[in-house]
Amino acid sequence: MIRMQERPERFGLEAHGLQPQADVYWNLAPAALVEEAVARGEGHLMASGALACTTGAHTGRSPNDRYIVEEPSSSGNVWWGKVNVPLSPASYAALKVKTLRALERRDLFVRDAWCGADPDHRLSVRVVTEGAWHNLFASNMFLRPPAAALADFHPDWTVLHSPSAVADPATDGTRSGTYIVVHFGERTVLIGGSAYAGEIKKAIFSVMNFLLPSQNVMPMHCSANVGPGGDVALFFGLSGTGKTTLSADPDRPLIGDDEHGWGEAGVFNFEGGCYAKTIHITAASEPEIFRATERFGTVIENVAYDPVTRVADYASDALTENTRSSYPIDHLGNFVPSGMAGHPRNVVFLTADAFGVLPPIARLTPEQAMFHFLSGYTAKVAGTERGVKEPSATFSTCFGAPFMPRHPGVYASMLGERLSRHGSKVWLVNTGWTGGPYGVGRRMSLAHTRTMLTAALHGDLDGVPTRPDPVFGVAVPTAVPGVPPEVLDPRSTWSDAAAYDAKASELAAMFRANFDKYADGVSAAVRACAPQG
């Protein structure tokens, strides 16, 4: 096997400040990366052909260890606060030296890739990793340029990924030994102290979210697919709400799994792959994702398996509930090769309501859509972030607050303008609990959710009578073929109606309190959409 390219890229690692002391592997094919990962003890080959790897102490993102360097290109444009935490240029400089020195002592794997299927809004990204399996992850998740493009590749952005580099909070200005730092002026991302691969893709997603609004493109944390008639549907929601599951529809080719832009020509995917949750996945429940997960070239993260048979146990949460598979989008049988499509006919907001009081499906007015987009209510699902052991109510503006560097109003205004211009219908879908809150009720039936969504996307609910939810004000269909009528009325699924009323009132108050921070920046009509319970 060729260990290194005979001719390194013209834009070499020295341009990033790196002076490697060991081997450098440039853009190895997936098969070569799997061989390297197994030979180095980074992972094990499963009976399915997938590569199983573990991420150590970090089995999810570390949002409290994410920083943006405060410098001229960012200081006046970033919405600073708990999510977008500033880091001084001096601290960044020290962390960069620490990252570079850690990388230089090891064999390195370089991945040159694209982010953004639309050539007019695409970033060239270079990812430098210590591990072969992290490089395979980057190969799966980003768009893979043809050989001709790689021959003269010049990165717009660089990710330096070094799990072995650990920050010193006393001197580096960090909260812990882990750091994810974005420097917009230097167009560089530093990742240290964490082997969780998801930090790589989410860091570049944050970069796109900062850059694209100035190009009149709305960046979105959503899945997207398209029907036989060219009708595009968007699925917004945080991890665990069903974006990947519900957008992987055998009758609707997938545009992309997680990150998209909505520009003048329509919707385009940022990525070249999918990063799916695999806890409790089966061939019967999610056939498309299961088949893609059980293939050579896929990386499965923190999934338990039989050490003798090398058969994965997707029901096990021995390491974490946030078990994942990373695979190129062409592992799916039904996808849009170009990663581009037209303007959305339907927009779906997914929420995993841990209170168990939101209806399973409802139609939103444009004003209600703005309210719920800014609110971004869902539940944090166990394992998605460090320290989260069970679902808990949360509000994540734009359904992706950890990745939105600009003020939420920037993204909300872009959404509202596009909904109005293109006449997109908006649906609120609860994939969370019914019959009671988490711990008392039960998770919403996936079969029922699929049936309701199919009816909505096909236009079958357009003429169905609706009733206004007495607390949340949204329009709830009175009937959906194939779904028991009582499922559509969350109050009727509770054994104690008074307990439902109290819990709904509690959640309504949380909505109103959370929205206070956005109230001054929206119209009276949007403010009036707050729950009244």
- Domains observed in the chain: 19-43+57-214 (3.40.449.10), 218-271+338-527 (3.90.228.20), 275-331 (2.170.8.10)
Query: Which is catalytic among the residues 61, 122, 144, 345?
Result: 61
User: Residue 324 catalytic?
Assistant: yes
Alpha carbons 400 and 414: distance in angstroms, whole number? 15
Alpha carbons 208 and 260: distance in angstroms, whole number? 10
Query: Which is catalytic among the residues 239, 384, 397, 424?
Result: 239
User: Residue 187 catalytic?
Assistant: no
Burial 151-166 (b: 16+ CB within 10 A, else e): eebebebbbbbbbebb
User: Residue 389 catalytic?
Assistant: no
> pLDDT digit of tens for each residue in the chain (533 aa)?
334 544 455 678 999 999 999 999 999 999 999 999 999 999 999 999 999 999 999 999 999 999 999 999 999 999 999 999 999 999 999 999 999 999 999 999 999 999 999 999 999 999 999 999 999 999 999 999 999 999 889 999 999 999 999 999 999 999 999 999 999 999 999 999 999 999 999 999 999 999 999 999 999 999 999 999 999 999 999 777 888 889 988 899 999 999 999 999 999 999 999 999 999 999 998 999 999 999 999 999 999 999 999 999 999 999 999 999 999 999 998 999 999 999 999 999 999 998 999 999 999 999 999 999 999 998 765 555 555 555 577 899 999 999 999 999 999 999 999 999 999 999 999 999 999 998 899 999 999 999 999 999 999 999 999 999 999 999 999 999 999 999 999 999 999 999 999 999 999 999 999 999 998 889 999 999 999 87
User: Residue 243 catalytic?
Assistant: yes
Alpha carbons 298 and 291: distance in angstroms, whole number? 10
Radius of gyration of the chain (CA): 23
The Cα-based distances of 211 to 123, 157, 167, 198 in angstroms read 10, 12, 28, 20
pTM of the model: 0.93
- Show Cβ contacts of residue 205 under 8 Å, excluding neighbours closer than 6 positions: 219, 221, 258, 259, 270, 403
User: Residue 291 catalytic?
Assistant: no
User: Residue 221 catalytic?
Assistant: yes
For the record, the structure tokens of 506 come out as 């509690």
Alpha carbons 372 and 450: distance in angstroms, whole number? 21
Query: Which is catalytic among the residues 111, 126, 243, 363?
Result: 243
Query: Which is catalytic among the residues 221, 277, 406, 407?
Result: 221
Task: Kindly tell me the burial class for residue 318, based on how many C-beta atoms sit within 10 Å of its own C-beta (0-12, 13-18, 19 or more).
Answer: exposed
- Show Cβ contacts of residue 5 under 8 Å, excluding neighbours closer than 6 positions: 26, 27
Token look-up 């395979």 returns: 136
- Cβ pair 452, 429 in contact under 8 A: yes
- Cβ pair 281, 294 in contact under 8 A: no
Query: Which is catalytic among the residues 202, 277, 343, 345?
Result: 202
User: Residue 443 catalytic?
Assistant: no
User: Residue 202 catalytic?
Assistant: yes
Query: Which is catalytic among the residues 260, 324, 380, 425?
Result: 324
Burial 199-229 (b: 16+ CB within 10 A, else e): bbbbbbbbbbbbbbbeeebbbbbbbbbbbee
- Cβ pair 1, 85 in contact under 8 A: no
CA dihedral 394, 268, 277, 320 (to 10 degrees): -60
